[in-house]
Structure formats: C-alpha cells, structure tokens
Amino acid sequence: MTTKINPADLCPCGSQQAYQQCCLPLHVNQLVAQSPEQLMRSRYCAFVVAQFEYLLVTHHPDYRQGLTIEQLAQGNIHWLGLQVINTKQLDTTGEVTFKAWYIDDKQIDAIYEQSRFVLQQGRWFYTEGKQMHTKLPERNEPCICQSGKKFKQCCAKLTY
C-alpha cells in the first residue's frame, strides 16, 4: 500500500517541511542528497510514495545483489513514521541508525537498522545495513509517527 501525497503535504520523512521542499526534488533528480541522513530520509520517503526507481539508483551497484523494482514494490505494508536515532558522517562514508515504523496486518513493527553509506563522485549511496530488533513504545510514550500524541491515542489504535 502506498500513500498518495501532494507536493505541498508534509514530507513523510518527518522533516516538518513540505514534500516539494524536502524529498521530492531528490526523487525527481533535481537535487542530490547532501548527507547520509538526507539520503536515508529520502529513501524512507521513497518507500512511502513508491518511488522505487529512486531506491535502486541510490543503492550502490556493488551491494544491490540483483534487487529489482518488482521486489521493492512487493508487500502491502503501511508506513507510519521514521525516527532517526543517530548519524555519523566522515569525508566519504557515513552511518545512519534509524527506526522505520510500519503496520502490517494490524501488527506494528519497525525496521531498526544501522545503514552504511559511501560518497562517490559527489553522490551518496546506500551500501548495506545491520538489522536490529526494537520493541514498541510504552502506551504513554510519544507516538512513533511524530503526531505529538501518546502512542495509545494514536497509532496503537490501528492494531485494535
């Protein structure tokens, strides 16, 4: 399932900017990501808005392992929000640790990953990531979708 989004809507990556001022120019190749974090956010956003071509071209060719747009387009999950936990950037490499929350068949879970990035010819590429396990927030903690509501009053309701 993909989210239909207007350019003036808030960007799904959680930046609090409009999509047209945030990830859209990256998705349509008008701009390139200036940091590993910006690339990571735009890649999460590409999943949400089904810009699968962008996911391929920003995935370093040496690490794609035959990945196809068809494979990326599989599945029926609904993305809930992105939490960037930590970022590290050196001259030509970087790391971003994040939780990308989704709901699949009334189960909320996250891709919790430490992703690695390299800079080549002025472009950041995703190379590979280390997956970890996370648990759901407590019911009174802030919601994973950054709505500002408590988890129990927001996305937790989707699981009932």
Binding site for Zn ion (CB under 5 A): 11, 13, 15, 22-23, 45, 143, 145, 147, 154-155
Closer residue to Zn ion, CB minimum distance, 72 or 108:
108
Give least dist CB 59 to Zn ion, A: 18
Closer residue to Zn ion, CB minimum distance, 64 or 142:
142
Give least dist CB 145 to Zn ion, A: 3
Closer residue to Zn ion, CB minimum distance, 25 or 64:
25
Give least dist CB 153 to Zn ion, A: 8
* 145 Cβ contact list (under 8 Å, min separation 6): 80, 81, 101, 154, 155
Strands 78-89 and 93-104: antiparallel
Task: Give the number of residues written for the chain.
Answer: 160
Give least dist CB 96 to Zn ion, A: 14
Closer residue to Zn ion, CB minimum distance, 64 or 103:
103
Q: Which residues of 65-99 are buried (b: 16+ CB within 10 A; e: fewer)?
A: eeeeeeebeeeeeebbbbbbeebeeeeeebbbbbb
SS3 137: coil
